[in-house]
Amino acid sequence: MSWLILAFSGVLEAVWATALGKSEGFSRLTPSLVFAVALAGSMGGLAYAMRDLPTGTAYTVWVGIGAVLTVLYAVLTDGEPASFLKIIFLALVVGSVIGLKAVS
């Protein structure tokens, strides 16, 4: 259960990171509210998962999921360029997250 909650919290990390960028310095209400709710949910889920999982593993998986999804969202919707190397490095992050799950 902790792994599932951690994965969902990683998704929420991508949501709050994206909303933070779209809030334009908290000057736009809707993205600012999405940021606050997603941040609270993401941190709460991470804290819950860390009751059963090692801190370093949980934090790394959480950041990895959030970072990869944030970049993918930006590439797919905001026109961020996707280079061959960017895709390789994102794949390495995903592989690292899978590896941490496998050895835990």
Residues 6+ apart with CB under 8 A from 32: 19, 23, 26
User: How much is the CA Rg of the chain, to the nearest whole Å?
Assistant: 14
State the Cα–Cα distance between residues 19 and 33, nearest whole angstrom.
9
| Tens digits of residue pLDDT in 44-81 | 999 999 999 999 999 999 999 999 999 999 999 999 99
Say if pTM beats, i.e. exceeds, 0.85: yes
